[in-house]
A and B are shown apart, each in its own frame.
Chain A
Amino acid sequence: MAEQENGATAEQTAAKMKAEEEGMRVMVAIDESDGSLYALSWTLDHFMAASSTLAQPRSLIVFHAQQPFQQFVVPAGQGVFVSASVTDSMRKAQEENSAHVLAKAIKVCEERNVIAEALVMDGEPKEMICQAVQQKSVDLVVVGSRGLGKFKRAFLGSVSDYVAHHAKCPVVIVKPPKEDH
């Protein structure tokens, strides 16, 4: 039992030291939903606000995953012929959309004097978020509780659920403010 306590104390010291010596890397996953923008504001207010007073400043990554766009094309009737130009314009629209989403997010950060790194990856959001956590050595990942679906408060979106289980770092699931029914 004494051994276990020593081990636990060593870990606690390690956690404390890490927080103080290395700048904490925080990543917020953004989609088009208001919920994710709220999650970003929440992160800025609760984790980034006093960053300048810390020995090592914290860094913020704003992350957006572009879903593979093939799923937007639904064959109907005699089948759909998707010409190269249609594919291109869809891709372009998607990139514009991503840029717009990220620009909005960066603006929110700037309003609070926080410089954030923008990161875009192609793929399923839930998997890409977890991959980004690994690749960028993220110490904390923040997600909204549900994305574009307008479900009841108790429902947890599939992305936040997946990230809660699979991310290799602490996860915060930010629920919308209580006034939002």
Chain B
Amino acid sequence: MAAAAEKTPMMVVVGIDDSEHSYYAIQWVISNFLSVHGTFKLAIIHAQPSPAYAVGLSGTGTADALPYVESDLTKISSRVIDKAKELCSANSVKDVVYEVIEGDPRNILPEAVEKYHADVLVVGSHGYGAIKRAVLGSVSDHCAHHAHCSVMIVKNPKPKH
């Protein structure tokens, strides 16, 4: 009979952004997946949008605005990571790696999968807001195609807009 726990810890990478869906995904993974798994290692990756990208999308950016946007984005990122840390410690999940990487999550997350030799990549279902998602396409969809490991798409059961 196969042993329930694996000898090598399962490597789980969770991609998050500044959205409720991401925090829900973290909680879901911890409650439903990690809590019953023998040994695992968790890495939480936050893809921070680059300022030029964020400014470009708003349509009114000038070069002067970039430093302010950058510091705003950095503030948001620390808040995101703090929230993730809170969730993990509230659930007694230890030894978590937290990383903030600037750039497009569609590239960052599959790369993180390679870097951490992930067995599973977890993403929320609507990483970006509705408008950005219409322009960019779905991050979770891209990860499902391009990540070289199993992908878990955690959908928030809240009614969709």
Contact assessment for B152 and A172 in the assembled complex, using a CB-CB cutoff below 8 Å: yes
Contacts of B85 in A (CB 8 A): none
Contact assessment for A42 and B141 in the assembled complex, using a CB-CB cutoff below 8 Å: no
Contact assessment for A172 and B32 in the assembled complex, using a CB-CB cutoff below 8 Å: no
Task: State whether the Cβ of A140 lies closer than 8 Å to any Cβ in chain B.
Answer: yes
Shortest distance between the CB of B136 and any CB in chain A (Å): 15
Contact assessment for B31 and A19 in the assembled complex, using a CB-CB cutoff below 8 Å: yes
B116-150, CB under 8 A of A: which get 1 and which 0? 00001000000000000000001011001110111
Contact assessment for B1 and A12 in the assembled complex, using a CB-CB cutoff below 8 Å: no
Task: State whether the Cβ of A91 lies closer than 8 Å to any Cβ in chain B.
Answer: no
The residue that A153 contacts in the complex, of B4, B138, B140, B148, with Cβ under 8 A, is B148
Task: State whether the Cβ of A148 lies closer than 8 Å to any Cβ in chain B.
Answer: no
Contacts of B150 in A (CB 8 A): 42, 145, 172-175
Contact assessment for B151 and A24 in the assembled complex, using a CB-CB cutoff below 8 Å: no
Contacts of B151 in A (CB 8 A): 164, 172-173, 175
Task: State whether the Cβ of B101 lies closer than 8 Å to any Cβ in chain A.
Answer: no
B5-25, CB under 8 A of A: which get 1 and which 0? 010001000000000100110
Closest partner residue, chain B, to A172 (CB atom): B152
User: What are 21 contact pairs spanning A and B, CB under 8 A?
Assistant: A7-B20, A11-B24, A12-B23, A16-B31, A19-B31, A45-B2, A46-B37, A47-B33, A47-B36, A53-B36, A140-B32, A153-B148, A160-B144, A164-B144, A168-B155, A171-B153, A173-B150, A173-B153, A174-B150, A178-B148, A178-B149
Contacts of B24 in A (CB 8 A): 8, 11-12, 15
Measured in the bound complex, the distance between the Cα atoms of B131 and A171 in whole Å is: 24
Task: State whether the Cβ of A93 lies closer than 8 Å to any Cβ in chain B.
Answer: no
Residues of B at the A interface (CB closer than 8 Å) are 1-2, 4, 6, 10, 20, 23-24, 27-28, 31-33, 35-38, 87, 120, 138, 140-141, 144-146, 148-158
Interface centre among B24, B138, B148, B151 (most CB of A within 10 A): B151
Contact assessment for A24 and B148 in the assembled complex, using a CB-CB cutoff below 8 Å: no
Q: Which 4 A-B pairs have the closest CB atoms?
A: A49-B4, A50-B36, A19-B31, A12-B27
Closest partner residue, chain A, to B35 (CB atom): A19
Task: State whether the Cβ of A116 lies closer than 8 Å to any Cβ in chain B.
Answer: no
Measured in the bound complex, the distance between the Cα atoms of B27 and A11 in whole Å is: 9
Contact assessment for A50 and B4 in the assembled complex, using a CB-CB cutoff below 8 Å: yes
Task: State whether the Cβ of A51 lies closer than 8 Å to any Cβ in chain B.
Answer: yes
Measured in the bound complex, the distance between the Cα atoms of B29 and A33 in whole Å is: 28
Contact assessment for B155 and A169 in the assembled complex, using a CB-CB cutoff below 8 Å: yes
Contacts of A175 in B (CB 8 A): 148-151
Measured in the bound complex, the distance between the Cα atoms of B157 and A145 in whole Å is: 23
Interface set, chain A 30-74, CB cutoff 8 A to B: 42, 45-47, 49-51, 53-54
Contact assessment for B145 and A54 in the assembled complex, using a CB-CB cutoff below 8 Å: no
